[in-house]
Structure 1
């Protein structure tokens, strides 16, 4: 997408959708990638419209400014009960991965700022979002900070979500 970016091609950003069990032949969808530099700021948006999930990431500041990648998937191909996606896509994942010989190179935090999620209704939003805590699964840690909920009760926000290496 942004071949020969003018800096070392060490960090690539892709959109990745993992299906529910027995959906999409158990195959994830992975978008084309864009090269980003350490310290670049990336804006990510995810929306659900007309039975499709669309996610877009755009570098808004830094060496790869202007680079963008998007992915659209049909909800019925990836999630259970696609007729009502609100019941089947009630989670999201922020992840940082390094592959191959680079796995041991993860020695720095990956920080997401101004993370917000808006639900269709306010039912259960505050309780669900407010119960999310800093955690570790043995492969690193996720630290959540600055939680708030909007006045209409539909949007959860965290000022920072930081992923740390193990």
Structure 2
């Protein structure tokens, strides 16, 4: 008798779920049948011709650095602030005081993963520029989980800000 009650309860619950699905479909469906196409409520016009951002030629690094804005870089640094400090103390990541021109893996008291040697010997502006675009691609195996800065302007602005901290 207990098994019969259990099977009846499961079947009853399944029936309630199926009826709920049927009611929800009838309340929220648009139109009569499946597969019908409906007119959009509004259409967003897009520029399908002409130039796109992908077709623009990338500027060279020197030109980008010449137009870098340290003030804008300070705002970009907000993304780094969760793991890095600029007061000389280490956090999840090493401090970034004097990082521009500093040797890679050179902060005392920070345990590096060893993957950064692939980037180079010194954190030159060019090395930082390429590393900040995609840290995991530039230094496979790095413990840094940051996805990177896709915008070249954001990267050069951040480098200019970090360079301005050196005094």
TM-score with structure 1 length normalisation? 0.22
Structure possessing the higher relative contact order (Cα contacts under 8 Å, 6 or more residues apart) = 2
Structure number with higher helix proportion = 2
TM-score with structure 2 length normalisation? 0.22
Q: Which has the larger radius of gyration?
A: 2
